[in-house]
Amino acid sequence: MSRFKSSFLLFLLLFSAYESIASEDIVQVSEEFTEALLLRPLPDRKVLAHFHFQSTAPPTRTYGRHHHLFPKSIYQLVHKFKVREMELSFTQGRWNYERWGGYDPISNSNAKPPGVELWADFDVPQHQVEDSWKNLTHALSGLFCASINFLEQSTSYSAPQWSFQSVSGKLRYGTLPREAVCTENLTPWLKLLPCRDKAGLSSLMDRPSIYRSYYHSQRLHLRSDEFDTSKTSTGIVLEQTLTVVLQPNTFSGKTSQLSWSLSSLFGRKVGGKCSLSNSSNVYVQFEQSLVSKVKELREKRESSKNEILMHEGFQNNPLFELSLPPKRIIKEVEKLTKEGSILYEFSVEDYDESEPFDLGLSWKVPVFWSCQQAPLRTSRFLLGSGNERGAIAISMKSTESNNVERSGRDDKECWLRVGIFQVVPWYVKVYYHTLEVFLDGEPQHTVDNVEKIHVSPSEDKVSPGVMEIVLRLPCSVSTAALTLEFDKGFLHIDEYPPDANQGFDIPSAVVRFNDFLTNISFDDNSLKRVPILSKLEENIPVLSYTEVLLVPLTTPDFSMPYNVITITCTIFALYFGSLLNALRRRVGEEERLLREKAAKKMGPLTLMLSKLSAKLRRKQWEPPKPSSSRKSVINKKLILKVLLVAGIAVAWQYYFQ
Amino acid sequence: MATGSGQPAQPKSWQIPVFYQKATAKTATDLATTSYFESRTQRLKSSAVVEYRARGSEKLDADRRATMAETEPVVKPKPRPIIRIGLFLISHSLFVSVVCCTAGILALLLLPALAKNTYISENALMPGSASPRLSHIDASEGQNFVNRILNLDSEAIKTGIEIPELIAKHMVELGGEVNYHKFQPISTKFHPLHFFLGPDAGVIQENYSCSSYGINTVGIIRAPRGDGKEAIVMVTPYNSVKITTGQAFSLGVAYSVFSLLARVTWLAKDIIWLAADSKHGEYAAVAEWLRDYNALSFGDLKLYPEICGVNTSPVCTTSQVKEGAISDGFRRAGTMAAALVIKVADSSTEFEKDVLNIYAEASNGQMPNLDLINIVNYFAVGQGLRVRVEKIWSLLDSWLLNSLGELIELLGKVATSLNPQGGFGIPVADYVEGSATLASSLYNQALGVPTGPHGAFRDYQVDAITMEISPKFYATESFLFLLYVGRLVEGVIRSVNNLLEKFHQSFFLYLLTSPSRFVSVGVYMIAFALLIAPLPLVAAALCSDASKTKLGKDKVPETAPHRESVPTFTSWKWLYAAKTVLVVHLWSAVVTLLPYFLYQIPNSSPSTNLLIWITLSVLSLFFAYELSGSFSFFSTSPPQRSEWALLKSVTVAVAFIGLCLMSVINFATAEIGALLLVPMCLTAVPLRHNLKVNTTRALVRGACHMLLVFVGFPPTAFLLLKGASDGFGNVICSFILQLKEANGYLVQVFVALPLSLIESMFA
């Protein structure tokens, strides 16, 4: 107890000391943890749930190395490998850009390629970057129980020049498309939270319901300016998000939207906030197209009923009803002519175990709407057939949002800049000179449409091929396509991965719309203090990931090596045997020797027999021809042997059957 | 022996190397000086041939002559055993070839008895490890769907887009991603049959109208947690203009499975349902879709093209599903793992059970992986269907096969009594059925024409089969029918979905004798090898024969030096024969390819085409004659046995090589080709020989040869059979056509070989 007291006193002392220092700084210095959950109904009767946890640690210079909330492992990671920024994501399933949207901040920052994606920017001298990357992959591999260490090999990661924000050249990027994501990856991720999944919003994370989701992506984003010498450093910001797309249990008809509640989605309720978190909010977001639908409907109803609307509340919403009253309603600033989206904020702080938080949404009218799309919808596929060559095609198709954006700009000199970042493993030998651009089905001069391009061709067994390209497309384009031809390489037998007959993956390409930035801006400046909302307000580039491709390569029959070995050995034996025979044997000499031997060693019995037979035939006895005698002897011996073996076999058969 | 002639003054000792010196020290002492001896050995080490030749030369002690031509060994060296065996076989080539040929044919007939039971080789398939989930609700929805389609059909269909629209609407309701694929069958494709017989009615339509577009409807279910790298394809061909009840039921089966798969959570691969518009043939629709799937397509995929003027009717626009649900782009879903073509035949009453027919042969005799057939068989048997593979029905009543089957059954009994472990015996009925299936399997593979739309998938290395279900009464029990066929399809898809790798475990080269029995490549190759084994023997025998007689004749021109032919190059003589054969082959290749080029000429009737073809062929024959210098059958010199023997030996050798190559490409074609060619090759003898002898036996033999050659010669056979029976003739037509399209090489052999045989006959 006394020890506790003393430590408490020490803490107070320290705290007061810090307070005095902090008073000098503008920024408040203390560790912070916030949690938030954003729910959004999706057009195809699914619900997006986006958990957002943020921990911040003040800079070591002012705060020291001791942390209460911030995970120690991450702090050590940052310091050991001098990570400036890092993002790690584990994803299962595909983000459906068409149905779930591709333009809003959440889909742009949380839609990730299947498997593991990792990129990291280091604050080390250029020559140490590779080492830092390798060590980091191993550390993360251990930390998250995943085979991230496979990204250590130089064939699996790349150094993008300008496709990512960083231009330092110290950024490394790698993906593992085949990594299976499971609960064993989630548990270490939850361990980084101060309340784990015992309290607060993370207690909703019921494993079966999360892994039953249509899309599941857990992400860890790390930003530190620990190593900046400037004064305005914010320390380390650890942002952990879990994005799941859930389908409420279907019992009703097929077409209408489904009502849901937290307990029906997750099978659990929230029993209060995590007491260590500064804020614990739940938001329900309605997209702008849905909001405009609501408005339409309301206007219609107004005109029909001539009713005066009291205020924009949730109660008299003609479309849906929320089971709990929101704490406040946050409206997005209207852009151009469009209606902004609406966020309903709920605070979990008011609820506890006895009265758990269970938000529900029920639809009053069947409603159809669509999400805002990225300017171009991209898809990537393989062309050609056979085991020799093929082509990768990235096709882009314009969506309506493109038109909307275009209408706001002046029509002259309207260009759409599309950056594509594509990593191809070395065994798919891409010929970059075969790059062809098609606009609306017509092949184009590549030079006219490529603004800048950076290609580093693959090197066999050393590095993957990386292509970064910025296409400049006219805004009026409706379809654009890009093709690259490749040859399928051969691998050495021990380079084949397990289950080689499945084929080989080409990781997702990243398509970035450079001129498009997305954010949700709010009027109220006080909202900036809530991390999830400030995150939404940040301008982030619109990007989308393409599908992972599966290239069937020629695979050997893996039992074949044995066949090959045996055949090769047989051929070698035959060849060398006959060669040696030809080299060594001298048939003439051998025959002469044998003849001499035969002449010398003709047994008395044979001699007598031959003489006898000669006498019987009344012929002159002559010494037998050596070759013939030898032959006859051999033949007799052979016959004798054969007879002996046959006899033994017969006896064996007779006695033992 | 350049070494020998290069050292003319050397003593005899050069034959003995130094490491042999000790053993023959006595011999070595009375030889030349040691210093020279050692210098020689250096050379000898580098040349094994010299040593080898030395073996017979100890008798030549006194002989100082240098040229090896005169160092004729007195004792002929005994050749190696393998060479001795070869010589023995060549000297008894007649007997050996008769034995081998008979053995080959017998082995072919034995194949049904040697067939093994199939087994599921890939453990990951795990067929039947989960109970079927297709519920009564799904089946009844499928039934409703069928009724809706049939109702639609009973109304007047004008544009042919009502059914695709209906299907698309239902696909969207189930949550699939839908697009239409509009295609036009390629009309300018060369078709050899049309060249000779004129175009079929209704095939060539010069100006395509709107209704001539086929419209495939493609629905894709994305696997909920899959990575979208692989897909399983379900194909239901139907005629959008006039849909039959069977086709409607196949759509119903696919719909009920699709509605189940839209809900399930176990999907790892995307599911593609291709409702293929078989207005222009089932194969064409699927092939066109696959072609666009594997190519960059910018086609206008809108259902209502503006030019057509169909869309203006407001009924169509209202009937369309909600905006944007059906995309106008081409949708793809990764690499295809397997494809199932589901067809329902119109009801048959010939069996007590519903029958599932499996069609597997793709183009050029390629087969899907045996595991795919195995799992279909497994589930079909589980659902109480009777599984069948196509067979030639007429063979079932053949007394020859029946008696052979009895013989084999008897043999099997004897074998079983001797060795109870070895299960060789096979009942007569099984044997006959197995041979009929095997014959059909061989025939279809040899033909190289796909037996259904699944053939289009094999061209893209996707394993696919067609399941044709002939229900007994689907009119009365349509609900049950949909239920169990749906469960069958669900089971197969679930098994394929379990696969982590693509099909690779089981056999790709096999012949089916029944749905659950197969003959693998290791077994059927024996029959083929036995069948063609006589060819090289006969060629070698004829060659050695020819060289012997030539040697005998060479002594004659020495006495009469006015003949300036080059008799010293007797070993090169075969090159002339080879040249002749090559020229004949080239000519036949030209003749075979000519129709294709003639077809490009616009506005030409088949009869003029035929005339041009014949004249060009004759002209090219004369050109070839000029090229080769002399064809033996135009030469006026008296026939020499050696010449035709060499010619025949080269022809036979070429046939052997051709058949061997063909067996690698398409076994069945090679096997049938061997059955036709080998007897021909073995028996062909110049006609003049027969005529000279002038006995009735020789005449009969000659007539037989002519008959064989004529039957073997495809155009003749084609014409004969065409005249004989129309139905069977068509089959042969397609056989020849396919041969021409796919198996170019064998056609050449087929055309050229009888020609060269005829030539050798007239020599």
Query: What distance in Å separates the CA atoms of residue B142 and residue B486, rounded to the nearest whole number?
Result: 9
In a domain, A5, yes or no: no
Query: What is the per-residue pLDDT across B243-286, written as a single tens digit (0 to 9) for each?
Result: 888 899 999 999 999 999 988 889 999 999 999 988 888 888 99
Q: What's residue B638's pLDDT?
A: 46
Say yes or no: B321 contacts chain A, CB-CB below 8 A.
no
- A294, A328, A363: which is the final residue of a domain? A363
Chain B residue closest in CA terms to A395: B296
Token readout for A88 is 């790690």
Name which of A401, A531, A541, A513 is nearest A109 in CA terms. Answer: A541
pLDDT of res. B33: 39
Q: Do A177 and B227 touch (CB under 8 A)?
A: yes
The reply to whether B58 touches chain A by the CB within 8 Å rule is yes
* Count of Cβ atoms closer than 10 Å to residue A98 Cβ: 19
Of residues A591 and A359, which shows the higher confidence score?
Answer: A359
Distance from the A444 Cα atom to the nearest Cα atom in chain B, whole angstroms: 14
**Residue B162 has what pLDDT?**
82
The stretch B533-549 carries a mean pLDDT of 82
Q: Are strands A115-122 and A32-41 parallel, antiparallel or unpaired?
A: unpaired
Same domain, A250 and A351: yes
Answer for the pair A45, A291: CB distance below 8 angstroms, yes or no. no
Q: How far apart are the first and last CA of chain A?
A: 91
Residues for chain B: how many in total?
763
Helix, strand, coil shares of chain B, percent, nearest 5, are 60, 10, 30
**B160 or A224, which is more confident:** A224
Look at A501 and B461 and tell me if their CB atoms are within 8 Å: no
Phi, psi (5° rounding) for residue B519? Answer: -115, 125
- Same domain? A76 vs A214: yes
What type of residue is B287?
A: A
Q: Give the pLDDT score at B93.
A: 84
| Residue contact B222–A555, C-beta within 8 A | no
Distance, in Å, from the CA atom of B238 to the CA atom of B255, rounded to the nearest integer, reads 13
Size of interface A-B (CB pairs under 8 A): 119
- Chain B, 326 to 345: residues with Cβ < 8 Å from chain A are 329, 332, 334-335
* Domain identity same for A386 and A301: no
A586 within some domain: no
Residue at A633: amino acid letter: V
DSSP A518-564: E---BS-GGGGGSHHHHHHHS-EEEEEE---EEEPPP---TTHHHHH
Report how far residue A570's alpha carbon sits from residue B8's, in angstroms, rounded to the nearest whole number: 42
pLDDT grade, residue A5 (50/70/90)? low
| Contacts of range B208-211, beta carbons closer than 8 Å, 24 or more positions apart | B208/B184, B210/B159, B210/B305, B210/B307, B210/B308, B210/B309, B210/B310, B211/B159, B211/B160, B211/B241
Q: What is the DSSP letter of B55?
A: G
Residues A213 and A230 in one domain: yes
Strand partners, A471: A418, A450
Q: Are B129 and B379 in contact (CB under 8 A)?
A: no
How confident is the prediction for chain A on average, in pLDDT? 82
Residue A343 parent element (H or E): strand A342-347
In tens, the pLDDT along B333-383 reads 989 999 999 999 876 656 666 889 999 998 888 899 999 999 999 999 988
How distant is the Cα of B78 from the closest Cα of chain A, in angstroms?
A: 9
Which of chain A's residues have a Cβ under 8 Å away from the Cβ of B52?
A: 582
Confidence band, pLDDT 50/70/90 cuts, at residue B430: confident
Among A492, A525, A551, give the residue marking a domain's end.
Answer: A551
Residues 6+ apart with CB under 8 A from B115: B434, B513, B514, B517, B518, B519
Q: Which of A74-83, B96-105, B469-478 has the lowest mean pLDDT?
A: B469-478
Cβ(B535)–Cβ(B93) below 8 Å:
no
- pLDDT bracket for residue A408 (50, 70, 90): very low
Comparing A90-104, A472-486, B542-556, the range with the smallest average pLDDT is B542-556
Let me know if residue A560 belongs to a domain: no
Contacts A589 to B, Cβ<8 Å: 16, 20, 23-24, 55, 58
Q: Classify residue A573: in a domain, yes or no.
A: no
Are B473 and B354 within 8 A, CB to CB?
no
Out of A76-90, A161-175, A182-196, B626-640, least confident range: B626-640
Q: How many CB atoms lie within 10 A of CB A576?
A: 10
B758 confidence band (pLDDT: 50, 70, 90): low
List the B510-514 sheet strands across, edge first: B116-117, B517-520, B510-514
Count, residues in chain A: 657
Give mean pLDDT, residues A234-258.
79
Say if B24 is an interface residue toward chain A (CB within 8 Å).
Answer: yes
Residue A3 covered by a domain: no
Reduce the DSSP state of residue B277 to 3 states and report it: strand
Does residue A565 have a pLDDT over 70?
A: yes
In chain B, whose CA is at the least distance from the CA of A177? B227
Same domain, yes or no: A605 and A508? no
Distance, in Å, from the CA atom of B40 to the CA atom of B13, rounded to the nearest integer, reads 9
**How many contiguous H segments (helices) and E segments (strands) does chain A have?**
17, 26
A contact test, residue of B22, B296, B301, B499 with most A CBs within 10 A: B296
Asked whether residue A613 falls in the same domain as residue A635, the answer is: no
A254 falls within a domain: yes
Q: List beta partners, residue B464.
A: B339
Together in a domain, A233 and A306 = yes
Closest C-alpha to A89, from A218, A177, A225, A269: A218
Per-residue pLDDT at B62 exceeds 90: no
Confidence band (pLDDT; 50, 70, 90) for A540? confident
CATH number, position A536:
2.60.40.740
Q: What is the pTM of this model?
A: 0.80
State whether residue B252 is helix, strand or coil: helix
Nearest to A171 by CA among A180, A158, A181: A158
Is the model's pLDDT at A304 over the cut of 70? no
**Cα separation of A211 and A219, whole Å?**
15
CA closest to A436 among chain B residues: B296
Q: Which residue has the higher pLDDT, B13 or B212?
A: B212
CA separation for the pair A204, A269 (Å, rounded):
6
Do the chains contact at A549 and B78, CB–CB below 8 Å?
Answer: no
Which phi and psi angles does A247 have, rounded to 5°?
A: -110, 120
Q: In this predicted structure, which of A284-288, A618-622, B53-57, B368-372 has the lowest mean pLDDT?
A: B53-57
Contact B52 A582 (CB under 8 A): yes
Residues of chain A with Cβ-Cβ distance to B296 below 8 Å are 383, 393, 395, 438, 481, 483
- Chain-chain contact of A379 with B173 (C-beta, under 8 angstroms): no
Q: Where residue B747 falls among pLDDT bands split at 50, 70, 90?
A: very low
> Looking at beta carbons, which residues of chain B come within 8 Å of A483?
296
CB contact under 8 A, A588 and B504: no
- Does any CB of chain A come closer than 8 Å to the CB of residue B123? no
Q: What are phi and psi of B146, to 5 degrees?
A: -60, -45
Provide the pLDDT for residue B104: 93
For residue A494, being part of any structural domain is answered with yes
**pLDDT score for B15:** 42
Predicted confidence (pLDDT) at residue B630 exceeds the cutoff of 60:
no
Residues whose CB is less than 8 angstroms from the CB of residue B631 and which lie 6 or more positions away in sequence, other chains included: B580, B625, B759
- Segment among A11-25, A130-144, A505-519 with least mean pLDDT: A11-25
- Residue A75 corresponds to which amino acid? Y
Q: Which of B102-106, B184-188, B238-242, B329-333 comes out lowest in average pLDDT?
A: B184-188
Which secondary-structure segment (H or E) carries B701? helix B696-712
Mean pLDDT of B138-157: 85
Identify whether the C-beta of residue B180 lies closer than 8 Å to the C-beta of residue B274. no
- For residue B550, name the pLDDT band (cuts at 50, 70, 90): low
Asked if the Cβ–Cβ distance from A479 to B329 is below 8 Å, we say: yes
Mean pLDDT of B470-490: 83
CB spacing of B230 vs A115 below 8 angstroms: no
Strands B177-183 and B326-327: parallel
pLDDT digits (tens, 9 = 90+) for A605-623: 777 777 777 777 666 665 5
Note the pLDDT of residue A73.
Answer: 92
Residue A119 predicted with pLDDT over 60: yes
pLDDT of residue B397: 82
By C-alpha distance, the chain A residue nearest B269 is A93
User: Which pLDDT belongs to residue B190?
Assistant: 56
| pLDDT interval class at B742 (50, 70, 90) | very low
Interface test with B, best of A256, A293, A381, A504 (most B CBs within 10 A): A381
The backbone torsions φ and ψ at residue B316, rounded to the nearest 5 degrees and listed phi first, read: -65, -45
DSSP helix/strand/coil, B89: helix
Mutate to test the interface with A, among B298, B419, B503, B508 (most CBs of A within 10 A): B298
Phi-psi map region of B520: left, alpha, beta (phi>0 left; psi -120 to 50 alpha): beta
Separation in Å, CA of B127 to nearest CA in chain A? 19
In this prediction, residue B559 carries a pLDDT of 40
Angle at alpha carbon of residue A195, lines to A194 and A196, rounded to 5°: 95
CA distance readout (Å), A69 to A36, A111, A140, B119, B649: 17, 28, 20, 60, 92
B230 at interface of A, judged by CB pairs closer than 8 A: yes
Assess whether pLDDT exceeds 60 at residue B579. Answer: yes
Cβ distance of A94 and B263 shorter than 8 Å: no
User: Quick one: pLDDT at residue B641?
Assistant: 59
Centre a 10 Å sphere on the Cβ of residue A355 and count the other Cβ atoms it contains. Answer: 11
Closest approach of B301 to chain A, Cα-based (Å): 13
What is the pLDDT at residue A49? Answer: 94
Task: Check residue B397 and report its DSSP letter.
Answer: G
Cβ–Cβ under 8 Å, residues B453 and B289: no
Location of structure tokens 């299936």: B437
Tokens at residue A301, please?
């109803």
Whether A657 and A612 share a structural domain: no
* Cβ distance of B229 and A548 shorter than 8 Å: yes
Q: Which of A389-398, A537-546, A621-630, B314-323 has the lowest mean pLDDT?
A: B314-323
Q: Looking at the structure, tell me whether residues A411 and A423 fall in a common domain.
A: yes
Please, which pLDDT band fits residue B640 given cuts at 50, 70 and 90?
low
- What ipTM, to 2 d.p.? 0.81
**What's at A456, amino acid-wise?**
S
In this predicted structure, the answer to whether residue A97 has a pLDDT above a threshold of 60 is: yes
B225 vs A: CB within 8 A: yes
The full 3-state SS of B120-170, as one line of letters, equals CCCHHHCCCCCCCCCCHHHHHHHHHHHHHHHHHHHCCCCCCCHHHHHHHHH
DSSP bridge pairs for A171: A121
Three-class secondary structure of residue A83 per DSSP: strand
Contact B228 A583 (CB under 8 A): no
* Residue A383 and residue A355 share a domain: no
Does B225 contact A93 at a Cβ distance shorter than 8 Å? yes
Report which of B121, B119, B118, B127 is spatially closest to residue B514, judged by C-alpha positions. Answer: B118
Q: State whether residue A60 is helix, strand or coil.
A: helix
Q: Does B322 touch chain A (CB under 8 A)?
A: yes
- State the pLDDT at residue B686: 63
Pairwise CA distance, residues B489 & B201, whole Å: 37
How close A297 comes to chain B (CA, Å)? 19
Number of domains in chain A: 4
Residue A489 has a CB neighbour count (10 Å cut-off) of 16
CB atoms A212 and B265 under 8 Å: yes
A635 and A611: one domain? Answer: no
Looking at the structure, tell me whether residues A129 and A109 fall in a common domain.
Answer: yes
Exposure of A413 by Cβ count < 10 A (0-12 exposed, 13-18 middle, 19+ buried)?
A: exposed
Q: What are phi and psi of B412, to 5 degrees?
A: -60, -40
Q: Could you tell me the two tokens for A273?
A: 């906030």
On the 0-12 / 13-18 / 19+ scale of CB atoms within 10 A, A514 is: middle
Give the one of A92, A177, A557 whose C-beta lies nearest to B225's C-beta.
A92
| Predicted local confidence at residue B50, as pLDDT | 40
A559 lies in a domain? no
Q: Is B522 within 8 Å of chain A by CB? A: no
Query: Domain span at residue A642?
Result: 627-657
Share of chain A above pLDDT 90, in %: 31
Taking contacts as CB-CB distances below 8 angstroms, the residues of chain A near B298 are 438, 440-441, 479, 481
Q: How confident is the model at residue A245 (pLDDT cuts 50, 70, 90)?
A: very high
